[in-house]
């Protein structure tokens, strides 16, 4: 997370009718709410992949807006523009209700590399294409969960252990709808 991810203006951007109670309250051990983590995930997804999980009142930014947003993304990387200000400038709101929190992995204290990784699930926004940043992400591939695990086992797609564990949970599901149903009904556990 970046320091501005916990900006109190974030709660005003979210559509209140779609906020779950735990998105504004129940902070974690760091004092951050689920809404704060969702905002950070939405920002990171845009910065690294060029996919924007945000919308205007009509729920879909048009192609011209998306092209302009990608130009602003470069200025965000340089620290000239904050993501929150960009959303405000384009009259967009994070689509937090379409981003599902899955789980968190924290490395043990003895680990030389420390992280607290949050995993989320969302549908790729319609009409948007992957546009990697070339620094944090240098390549990507589309694969089903089963294909990703198989490629990882063969050594052609290295995945960190937490990522492997999350992806394995998705292998029984064929579609976005069946996955969402499992998440909502509690038939998919993390």
Number of domains in the chain: 2
Kindly report the CA angle at 131 between 90 and 147, in degrees rounded to 5?
130
Please provide the average confidence, as pLDDT, over all residues in the chain: 83
> Are 107 and 160 in the same domain?
no
27-78 pLDDT per residue, tens: 566 666 788 888 889 999 999 999 999 888 776 777 788 888 888 888 888 7
> Are 33 and 75 in the same domain?
yes
The whole-model pTM stands at 0.82
> Are 165 and 90 in the same domain?
no
pLDDT at 153: 97
> Are 112 and 168 in the same domain?
no
> Are 74 and 105 in the same domain?
yes
Confidence band for 15, pLDDT divided at 50, 70 and 90 = very low
pLDDT at 171: 94
pLDDT higher than 50, residue 94: yes
> Are 53 and 130 in the same domain?
yes
Confidence band for 166, pLDDT divided at 50, 70 and 90 = very high
Confidence band for 135, pLDDT divided at 50, 70 and 90 = confident
> Are 151 and 93 in the same domain?
no
Kindly report the CA angle at 54 between 117 and 124, in degrees rounded to 5?
65
Domain hosting residue 113, numbered range? 3-138
Joined together, the tokens standing for residue 98 give 């379409």
> Are 149 and 182 in the same domain?
yes
> Are 16 and 78 in the same domain?
yes
> Are 101 and 52 in the same domain?
yes
Query: What is the 3 state secondary structure string of 74-143?
Result: HHHHCCCCCHHHHHHHCCCEECHHHCEEEEEEECCCCCCCCCEEEEEECCCCCCCCCCCCCCCCCCCCCC
> Are 131 and 149 in the same domain?
no
Can you list the positions of beta strands (E) in the chain? 54-55, 93-94, 100-106, 116-121
> Are 15 and 50 in the same domain?
yes
């Amino acid at each position: 997370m970046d320091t501005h991810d916990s900006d109190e203006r974030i709660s005003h951007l979210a559509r209140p009718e779609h906020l779950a109670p735990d998105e504004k309250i129940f902070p974690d051990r760091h004092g951050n709410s689920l809404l704060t983590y969702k905002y950070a995930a939405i920002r990171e997804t845009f910065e690294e992949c060029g996919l924007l999980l945000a919308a205007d009142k009509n729920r879909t930014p048009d192609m011209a807006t998306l092209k302009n947003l990608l130009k602003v993304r470069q200025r965000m990387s340089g620290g000239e523009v904050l993501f929150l200000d960009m959303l405000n400038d384009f009259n967009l709101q994070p689509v937090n209700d379409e981003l599902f929190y899955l789980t968190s992995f924290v490395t043990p204290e003895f680990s030389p590399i420390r992280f607290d990784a949050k995993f989320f699930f969302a549908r790729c926004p319609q009409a948007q294409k992957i546009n990697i940043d070339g620094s944090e992400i240098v390549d990507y591939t589309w694969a089903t969960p089963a294909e990703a695990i198989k490629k990882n086992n063969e050594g052609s797609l290295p995945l960190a252990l937490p990522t492997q564990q999350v992806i394995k949970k998705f292998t029984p599901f064929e579609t976005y709808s069946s996955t969402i149903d499992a998440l909502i009904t509690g038939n998919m556990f993390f």
